[in-house]
C-alpha cells in the first residue's frame, strides 16, 4: 500500500515534528536526514517547523582550506557549552562524485564535545552547490533552530570566493585566514571580504601573523593607527582594535563623549585553535556582533532578506522542474536541438512552444482570482 495514499506517512511526519519540538535528538537526526535526502514530505516537515524558528543565533565559519576551521568550530562549541548554551553544528563537506554524500562525513571533528548531547553535530554534503551550501543546509538550520539550539554554527567548504552563499544562512559570518597566506588575503578581495563580519587569523603562533593581520586591517579599513598590531603577540591585547571587543563604529559627539553609530566595523581576531588561545576573545567579538544586530534591528532585516532570497530560489527550482517536465513531453532537449540544427525550427520557437501551456495555465488561474 502506498503510505502517502492512506495518510499514515503524513501522520508519522507529524509525530516526528512533535518529537523534535519535545527535544528528542533522535527525531532531530531523522528530520535532518529527510531534509538532506529530499525525502517525500520533507517540505511539509520544514513548513511545520518554521513557526518555531527565529531564536537561534546562526554563525557561519568559512575560509581557505587548511585554515583550521574544524578545530576552531570544535573549540567554539566547547566555549558555548561552558557558558551553558546548547549548540548545533552543520559541517558542509565536498560531495562524493560517486554517492553524492559527504566525503568527510564519517570523520571525528568534535573531539572536545564527544558525548555531550547538547552539542549536535551533522556533516552534510554540499551537493555541488555554488558556495558550498546546499539548499538542504538552510532547512537543517531551521530544524536546529526549532529544536531549541541557542547557537547554530555552519562550517563550509573552503572554496574561495564562492563561499558567499554562507551569508544567506548566517547572522554572523566569520572568515578564517592563516598567517603568511598572501594569496588567501588577495583572494578575499575577490568576494569573501564583502561578507565577513569577523576575520580570524588562525594558527597565529606561526610566522607571518603580524603581516597577515595588518593586511586584513588595511583591507577592511581598520587601520586608524598604521602600526597598531604589527608588534603584538599571537593573541591577547593585540587581538582587538581598542581595549575591548569592537561592536560598532564609534565617534565623538560635541561633548567629546563616544557615541555609537549603526555601522559595524569588521573585527580581526587572532587565535590558535589547537590550544584554544584567542577563542574567548573570538566569542566576545561574536557576542558583540549579535548584540549589534539586535540593537540596530539588522538581524530581523537580514532574515527578511534571506526569506526573500529563499522564496526566489524555491520558485526558480520548482519552475525549472516544471519546464524540464514539459521539455521531456516535447521529446527532450536533444531532439529539439536536432530540429533546430536542421533549420526546422529555431530556439525562440522551441521556448515558446514549451512554455505556452504553462503560460496558459498561469493566465487561467489569474482570471479565476
Give residue limits of the domains in the chain. Answer: 54-296, 311-368
The pLDDT assigned to 186 comes to 61
The pLDDT assigned to 92 comes to 84
Instruction: Supply φ then ψ for residue 238, to 5 degrees.
Output: -80, 0
**Strand-pair partners of 62:** 175
Long-range pairs, 322-326, Cβ under 8 A, ≥24? 322/358, 323/354, 323/355, 323/358, 326/354, 326/355, 326/357, 326/358
The pLDDT assigned to 127 comes to 59
Rg (C-alpha) for the chain, rounded Å, is 24
Long-range pairs, 355-359, Cβ under 8 A, ≥24? 355/323, 355/326, 357/326, 358/322, 358/323, 358/326
CA 327 to CA 56: how far, in whole Å?
Answer: 42
Residue 180 CB neighbours (<10 A): 16
Reduce the DSSP state of residue 90 to 3 states and report it.
Answer: strand
Walking along the chain (369 residues) 10 residues at a time, the average pLDDT comes out as: 45 88 96 91 95 96 85 95 96 58 47 74 70 74 97 80 69 90 59 82 91 85 46 42 46 47 86 95 97 96 91 90 94 96 96 94 90
The pLDDT assigned to 221 comes to 66
CATH 3.40.50.300 fits 54-296, yes or no: yes
3-state SS, one letter per residue, for 105-155: CCCCCCHHHCCCCCEEEEEEECCCCHHHCCHHHHHHHHHHHHHCCCEEEEE
The pLDDT assigned to 225 comes to 42
CB 176 within 8 A of CB 61: yes
Residue 275 CB neighbours (<10 A): 13
CB 20 within 8 A of CB 27: yes
Amino acid at each position: 500500500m502506498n503510505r502517502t495514499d492512506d495518510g499514515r506517512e503524513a501522520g508519522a511526519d507529524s509525530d516526528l515534528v512533535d518529537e523534535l519540538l519535545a527535544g528528542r535528538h533522535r527525531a532531530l537526526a531523522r528530520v535532518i536526514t529527510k531534509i538532506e535526502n529530499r525525502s517525500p514530505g520533507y517540505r511539509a516537515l520544514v513548513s511545520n517547523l518554521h513557526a518555531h524558528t527565529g531564536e537561534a543565533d546562526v554563525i557561519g565559519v568559512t575560509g581557505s582550506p587548511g585554515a583550521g576551521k574544524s578545530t576552531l568550530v570544535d573549540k567554539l562549541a566547547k566555549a558555548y557549552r561552558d557558558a551553558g548554551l546548547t549548540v548545533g553544528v552543520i559541517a558542509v563537506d565536498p560531495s562524493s562524485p560517486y554517492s553524492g554524500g559527504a566525503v568527510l562525513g564519517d570523520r571525528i571533528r568534535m573531539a572536545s564535545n564527544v558525548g555531550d548531547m547538547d552539542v549536535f553535530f551533522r556533516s552534510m554534503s554540499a551537493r555541488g552547490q555554488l558556495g558550498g551550501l546546499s539548499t538542504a543546509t538552510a532547512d537543517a538550520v531551521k530544524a536546529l533552530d526549532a529544536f531549541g539550539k541557542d547557537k547554530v554554527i555552519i562550517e563550509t567548504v573552503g572554496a574561495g570566493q564562492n563561499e558567499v552563499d554562507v551569508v544567506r544562512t548566517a547572522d554572523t559570518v566569520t572568515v578564517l585566514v592563516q598567517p603568511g597566506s598572501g594569496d588567501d588575503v588577495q583572494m578575499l578581495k575577490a568576494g569573501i571580504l564583502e561578507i565577513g563580519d569577523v576575520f580570524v587569523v588562525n594558527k597565529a603562533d606561526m610566522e607571518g601573523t603580524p603581516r597577515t593581520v595588518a593586511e586584513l586591517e588595511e583591507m577592511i579599513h581598520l587601520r586608524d593607527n598604521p602600526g597598531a598590531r604589527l608588534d603584538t603577540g599571537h593573541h591577547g591585547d593585540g587581538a582587538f582594535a581598542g581595549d575591548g571587543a569592537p561592536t560598532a563604529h564609534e565617534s565623538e559627539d560635541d561633548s567629546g563623549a563616544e557615541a555609537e553609530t549603526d555601522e559595524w566595523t569588521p573585527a580581526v581576531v587572532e587565535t590558535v585553535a589547537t590550544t584554544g588561545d584567542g577563542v574567548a576573545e573570538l566569542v566576545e567579538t561574536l557576542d558583540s556582533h549579535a548584540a549589534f544586530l539586535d540593537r540596530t534591528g539588522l538581524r530581523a532585516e537580514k532574515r527578511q532578506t534571506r526569506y526573500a532570497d529563499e522564496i526566489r530560489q524555491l520558485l526558480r527550482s520548482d519552475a525549472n522542474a516544471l519546464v524540464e517536465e514539459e521539455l521531456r513531453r516535447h521529446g527532450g532537449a536533444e531532439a529539439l536541438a536536432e530540429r533546430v540544427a536542421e533549420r526546422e525550427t529555431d530556439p525562440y520557437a522551441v521556448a515558446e512552444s514549451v512554455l505556452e501551456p504553462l503560460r496558459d495555465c498561469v493566465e487561467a488561474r489569474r482570471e479565476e482570482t
